[in-house]
Amino acid sequence: MFLPEFGSYKALHREFSWQIPPNFNIGRAVCDDWAVQHADRVCLEHFSPDGRHLSMTYGELSAKSAAFANALTALGIARGDRVALLLPQSFETVIAHVAIYKMGAIALPLALLFGVEALEYRLSAAGARAVVTNEFGLSRLEEIRPRLPALEHVISTGPASGAVHSFASLVGAHPSVFDVAETGPDTPALMIFTSGTTGPPKGALHGHRVLPGHIPGFQMVHDFLPKPGDKVWTPSDWAWAGGLLNALLPALMLGVPVVSSPAQKFDPDMAFRIMAEMKVKNAFIPPTALRLLKSVDRPLEKYDLVLRSIGSAGESLGRETYEWVKATLGIVPNEFYGQTECNFVLGSAAHLGVTRGGAIGRAVPGHRVAIIDDDGREVPAGVTGQVAIARPDPVMFLGYWNDEAATARKFVGDWMKTGDLGRRDAEGYVEFFGRDDDVITSSGYRIGPAEIEDCLSGHPAVKLAAAIGKPDPLRTEIVKAFVVVADGYLPTPALAGEISNWVKQRLSMHEYPREVEFIAEMPLTTSGKVIRRLLRDRELAVAAE
């Protein structure tokens, strides 16, 4: 399952083969396997703004996760039960994850940013029997707990009283040895709800094989990590596939320390400070966050960075941001691609010569990715179609929770459809075109929003941008841009015209935004993706008035 260190991309594909053992448990792989011989090896570090940084060893993680697994068992939680994690990046989050996997239960990570309706929907749909959260999460649960009959136990990492259990007390009261459950590659381990960019979120259920399935892509993007001094950090919430499976769990499995940081709205200067102070060498930074980093002037003069690799995924990185990272940070960002249902299947690797601005990359060893038409047939290079992944594949989900019909609709033959449009060139590079639902039809042209947004982000006045199709009686749709202006700029009609003209001159006459609207805040999922659906719905509501 590990990536052999060859000097060429072709050799990697030729020599790689999956070797996932029949008995595999995520909790054992990310913790106990290391603790047996390297108990004092540091696996977690926590950044504190006051400079009092914390650390945890594999031995400590093994003992605490075992104690928490015993505590959950004593509460009646059993194999296959869903345990929700409503927590920020923290040591307690990792301890709880590892404990759940060791038990053979199913982890249900949830973002603290979710409102009460979103939480209720997910907890109810999953039938969660327990939830581990902090003081903020308790305030969210208070309103909805009476409507969640399956939710028997609430555990707090902070203050606890009444019907709420104390996380620290549970860990302290139970033995620090636990017999890890026998689990196979297809034993359910993890349920992550889709981000809901295009419709109601669905619970994507993954087996324990999902973690070894991520290792080749993780190593490819981060220059054959692990190497001496490697240390991983991501600003992404560990509650979604990006933070959890693109950073936290694969790093722990490979023996690489992971840095956690307090929950906060993304702050570019703080991000640079974290990476500098904690000596982060390997960062996973989604495209939106990379674009926000551009607001920091001459960062290498202000911060002593030791970065050697940057991976980025979640939405299209774009050529503008790709070139900025190269020029400003001196690192070629390695873009990669996947979905909650099937993640880390395309990737870039600058150290292998697999890199191209504006392209996601090529197929990661062990995965078969193609561009297909509506009937499931592969289309020739240069033709736009839907990105699809062939089954079986270790990172592919087991199915949507309690929704066999939706699971069946996700496939055409042995191809898992992503709903993302893309183009593949003769060398195998895939260019992301946009979600099928996001494609704009204007005057007979099919226009992907990603290219427009990439171009918009190159304008110095644009902090964040999104492009949608606005209904138009003459052209079917026109391109409309929503823009959050950068600091120091005023949202004026003159600036709107300048931004529109910027795209017209750089792309084409049919792709430029005929309308530019300035907004104070961009609607984003908890994973940092633009929710264009909300912008489209707003336009339709205005038109209906």
In the listed set 183, 208, 236, which residue is the last one of a domain according to the structure? 183
Angle at 303 (CA atoms; ends 301, 307), nearest 5 degrees: 110
DSSP state letter for 380: P
Quick one: pLDDT at residue 125?
95
Mean pLDDT across 17-27: 96
> Does 197 have pLDDT greater than 60?
no
541 vs 429: which has the higher pLDDT: 429
Quick one: pLDDT at residue 1?
66
Where does the pLDDT of residue 119 fall: very low under 50, low under 70, confident under 90, or very high at 90 and above? very high
Note the helical H segments in 440-516.
449-457, 493-506
Task: Output phi, psi for 373, to 5 deg.
Answer: -95, -175
CB 338 within 8 A of CB 416: no
Q: Is residue 176 part of a domain?
A: yes
- Helix, strand, coil proportions of the chain in percent (round to 5)? 35, 25, 45
Q: How crowded is residue 211: how many other Cβ atoms within 10 Å of its Cβ?
A: 29
Strands in 47-179 per DSSP E? 54-57, 82-86, 106-110, 130-133, 153-156, 164-166
Quick one: pLDDT at residue 315?
78
112 vs 109: which has the higher pLDDT: 109
Q: Provide the CA 522 distance to its chain's centre, in angstroms.
A: 18
Query: 């774009």: which residue's tokens?
Result: 318
Q: Is residue 136 part of a domain?
A: yes
Q: Is residue 243 part of a domain?
A: no
Quick one: pLDDT at residue 527?
60
Quick one: pLDDT at residue 506?
80
What type of residue is 334?
A: N
Q: How far apart are CA 70 and CA 177, in angstroms?
A: 8
Quick one: pLDDT at residue 524?
80
In the listed set 183, 216, 239, which residue is the last one of a domain according to the structure? 183
Mean pLDDT across 4-20: 90
CATH of the domain at 142: 3.40.50.980
Q: Is residue 415 part of a domain?
A: no
Mean pLDDT across 418-432: 91
Q: Is residue 18 part of a domain?
A: no
Q: How far apart are CA 530 and CA 12, in angstroms?
A: 34
Q: How crowded is residue 359: how many other Cβ atoms within 10 Å of its Cβ?
A: 25
Mean pLDDT across 75-97: 98
Quick one: pLDDT at residue 115?
82
- SS3 (DSSP) at 412: strand
The token pair that represents 38 in the structure block:
């390297």
> Does 494 have pLDDT greater than 90?
yes
Quick one: pLDDT at residue 113?
82
Quick one: pLDDT at residue 513?
93
End-to-end Cα, the chain, rounded Å: 56
Q: Is residue 154 part of a domain?
A: yes
CB 190 within 8 A of CB 30: no
Q: Is residue 216 part of a domain?
A: no
Mean pLDDT across 523-541: 78
Listed as own residue / partner, the contacts of 33-40 with beta carbons closer than 8 Å and 24 or more positions apart are 34/58, 34/252, 34/255, 35/59, 35/61, 35/62, 38/255
Q: How far apart are CA 310 and CA 298, in angstroms?
A: 18
> Does 402 have pLDDT greater than 90?
yes
Residues spanned by the domain of 99: 25-40+51-183
Quick one: pLDDT at residue 162?
87
The tens digit of pLDDT for each residue in 323-375 reads 999 999 999 999 999 999 999 999 999 999 999 988 999 999 999 999 999 99
Mean pLDDT across 244-250: 97
Quick one: pLDDT at residue 201?
81
The tens digit of pLDDT for each residue in 294-327 reads 889 999 999 999 999 999 998 788 888 999 999 9
Quick one: pLDDT at residue 538?
83
> Does 195 have pLDDT greater than 70?
no
The tens digit of pLDDT for each residue in 153-188 reads 999 999 998 899 999 999 999 999 999 999 999 999
Beta partners for residue 110, in sequence order = 86
The tens digit of pLDDT for each residue in 24-35 reads 999 999 999 999
Q: How far apart are CA 66 and CA 59, in angstroms?
A: 11
The token pair that represents 266 in the structure block:
């993304």
Q: Provide the CA 412 distance to its chain's centre, in angstroms.
A: 25
> Does 429 have pLDDT greater than 70?
yes
Q: How far apart are CA 425 and CA 419, in angstroms?
A: 19
Quick one: pLDDT at residue 444?
60
Task: Output phi, psi for 388, to 5 deg.
Answer: -140, 150
In the listed set 183, 218, 235, which residue is the last one of a domain according to the structure? 183
Helices and strands: H and E segment counts in the chain: 19, 27
Q: Is residue 78 part of a domain?
A: yes
> Does 232 have pLDDT greater than 80?
yes
Mean pLDDT across 459-486: 88
Q: Which residues contact 19 (CB under 8 A, 6 or more apart)?
A: 1
Where does the pLDDT of residue 489 fall: very low under 50, low under 70, confident under 90, or very high at 90 and above? very high
> Does 196 have pLDDT greater than 60?
no
Beta partners for residue 203, in sequence order = 193
CATH of the domain at 534: 3.30.300.30
> Does 199 have pLDDT greater than 60?
no
> Does 542 have pLDDT greater than 80?
no
Average pLDDT, the chain: 92
User: Is the CA virtual torsion 382, 383, 385, 391 positive or negative?
Assistant: negative
Q: How many domains does the chain have?
A: 2
The token pair that represents 532 in the structure block:
């264009």
Q: How far apart are CA 454 and CA 472, in angstroms?
A: 24
- SS3 (DSSP) at 496: helix
Where does the pLDDT of residue 438 fall: very low under 50, low under 70, confident under 90, or very high at 90 and above? confident
Q: Which residues contact 250 (CB under 8 A, 6 or more apart)?
A: 211, 214, 215, 218
Length of the chain: 545
